[in-house]
Structure 1
């Protein structure tokens, strides 16, 4: 059988790359469809990431208007094309995005290290078609309240993207540790160290902590910019993340405590030349020796 297809307990499933080819999507479009809940995935029982069930490919490909309808649902546009979709100047579109009236679905960094936000074309069409949105779209000047927020330098694009991406990651999480990792992905290391003082537990949490959805070598300018966007910087946002992570960690600890190293028994030294019955026995370890070996490692407690 091809290496792209595996047999799971209930169904056949294939790699995301193969699923994208069969559905006529680019790999990034497939990832977005998964994030949006359009395409369902399952964990690979062999530990190789997530797979797309064959039944899911058949379900999606049998939909009305496939494949054009599927591509329309995952089509993303930047500022210029988004402004055209909504029939507004590019400057007004940017102001709407800064105010959080339209929410980016992803971003990338161009060669000038500038952040390029991308939006779902379908969402922009729905926003423009809603008559309640006519004032910020069509009035010659922005409503006074909105102008005041812009004058303060408000830009909700990073925070709104984080909220949306957090929902994506939580939707893919299969257990409390993965949920905790998804929440921890948006907090800086100092915040995580305060909430999870136990080093073994913190190390286990970091295994489930995804990075920004952009490529770039660790420490490169691209990676640093993406990490900054990924990290919450608003006090209210940080407070909510801390509270949610604290609650999820309590469930994770109850369900499956973080693994810890186990102390190994030291074998008795060999005494050549002495019969086994005459070799000195290993002295009995005093009660509580394991506790003393672990002294200095704090026990995991709920923050």
Structure 2
């Protein structure tokens, strides 16, 4: 038995545009008005029984007044989303509890939800309507009453349990049905993978950031870091090698489609500005723009400008040679002046 239980991608059931908040209600209020538990309401939304629309204020999803009017006139909604556990499910199908559990572990019965009891044991929930239809199908009579084939019994004895994987496949179908765009669909697939697997498939950090921002909120089980929360995280993360490979392929394909339609947001580089003198009284750091000229990258700073104004030649090098300093005439010593005056007098006398 392969155990592959992938849910095909479904078309989102949404209205063309977001309604005004005055003409829609929150999911909590819609559940109360329809007489549903919140968990039953979420299942009905996932199954497509209740149509929701994005909140124009960015607060999640809402139910329009027109949809509420339609649901009030619809009979049997609560029966369609009613869930049962193993004991009640076995009674409903008229089989023993061990047989019911064996059928579920073999993947013939697909859970729709789960919770952890006070002993941190996983309690799986199934749609009562699906169990009734499974028991009524004549093709399933052999597995309900006959002896389970030895090969399948051996798989169960060896630890085969497809309930977590089947639940993940069903949850992915729910998420895809509510996705509003290609990036939402990619984020739905990524939500079932370990972050390391996502980083290995999607190398672009901005695309990973987009997936993280749109990642669907996982159901909460216990306080963060508690044993119950860790068990729930294991159930909600793909574990089988073939399941991981299948989800990685779907993620790469979904991101490729999203990238082609609308690339992930990226920071816009600041435009380069030319050097300008600082205004009087301006305090702060001056921006030194960078330019590329003739294949060389240089910085237009005042010091660089002075260096560029100096020619790189012999004449330019001579321009940097210091000019000789002109010394003032030295005043002769008094004795020297006197001797020079005497000689002049003697020459004039002779």
Fold match by TM threshold 0.5: yes
Q: Is 1:199 paired with 2:202?
A: no
Using the TM superposition, give the Cα deviation of residue 213 of structure 1 relative to its aligned residue in structure 2, in angstroms: 1.9
Equivalent pairs counted in the alignment come to 272
Change in Cα spacing, 1:142 to 1:42, as seen in structure 2 (3 Å) is: same
Give 1:154's match in structure 2, choosing from 154, 157, 160: 160
TM-score (norm 1): 0.83
Residues 1:121 and 2:128 are matched in the alignment: yes
**Higher alpha-carbon deviation: 111-120 or 221-230:** 221-230
Structure 2: distance between partners of 1:269 and 1:240: 60
Matches within 5 A, 1:80-229: 80-139=87-146, 141-229=147-235
Distance 1:282 1:146, change over 3 A: closer
C-alpha contact (below 8 Å) 2:186/2:251 kept by paired residues: yes
Give the equivalent residue in structure 2 for 1:4. Answer: none
1:10/1:283 CA distance change after superposition, 3 Å: closer
Q: d(CA) in 1 for partners of 2:289 and 2:272?
A: 12
Choose the corresponding residue for 1:52, options 57, 63, 67. 63
Equivalent residues of 1:79, 1:117 under 8 A apart: yes
The answer to whether 1:247 aligns with 2:253 is yes
Which 5+ residue runs of structure 1 have no aligned equivalent?
A: 1-6, 275-280, 293-303
> Which range is displaced more, 33-42 or 197-206?
197-206
Cα distance in 1 between the residues matched to 2:171 and 2:227: 22
Given that 1:104 and 1:120 are in contact with CA atoms closer than 8 Å, whether structure 2 keeps it comes out as: yes
**Residue 76 of structure 1, CA deviation:** 0.2
Aligned CA-pair RMSD: 2.4
CA–CA distance in structure 2, aligned partners of residues 282 and 204 of structure 1: 32
Distance change (3 Å), C-alpha of 1:53 and 1:265: same
Paired residue for 1:8? 19
Q: Highest CA radius of gyration, 1 or 2?
A: 2
CA distance in 2, matches of 1:209, 1:271: 48
Query: How far 1:173 moved relative to its partner?
Result: 0.3
- 1:31-88 Cα shifts (integer Å, max 9, x gaps): 111011101000011111000111111111112xx3xx11111100000111110111
Separation in 1, partners of 2:150, 2:272: 76
Residue by residue over 1:136-189, the C-alpha shift from the partner in whole angstroms, topping out at 9 and shown as x without a partner, is 1112x3122321322332110001111000000000001011001100011101
**Conserved 8 A contact 2:272-2:290:** no
**Residues 284 and 215 (structure 1), Cα distance of their counterparts in 2 relative to 1, 3 Å cut:** same
Question: How far apart in 1 are the matches of 2:242 and 2:263?
Answer: 29
TM-superposed deviation, 1:210 = 2.0
Deviations 1:73-105 (A, max 9, x none): 110000011111011111111001000111000
Does structure 2 retain, via aligned residues, the 8 Å contact 1:200–1:260?
Answer: yes
**TM-score normalised to structure 2 length:** 0.72
**Per chain length, whose mean CA-contact separation is higher, i.e. which structure has more relative contact order (CA < 8 Å, sep 6+)?**
2
For the residues of structure 2 that align with 1:284 and 1:130, how far apart are their CA atoms? Answer: 76
Does the 8 Å contact 1:181/1:208 carry over to 2?
yes
Per the alignment, do residues 115 and 269 of structure 1 end up closer, same or farther by CA in structure 2, a change over 3 Å counting? farther
Gaps of 5+ in 2: 1-17, 298-350
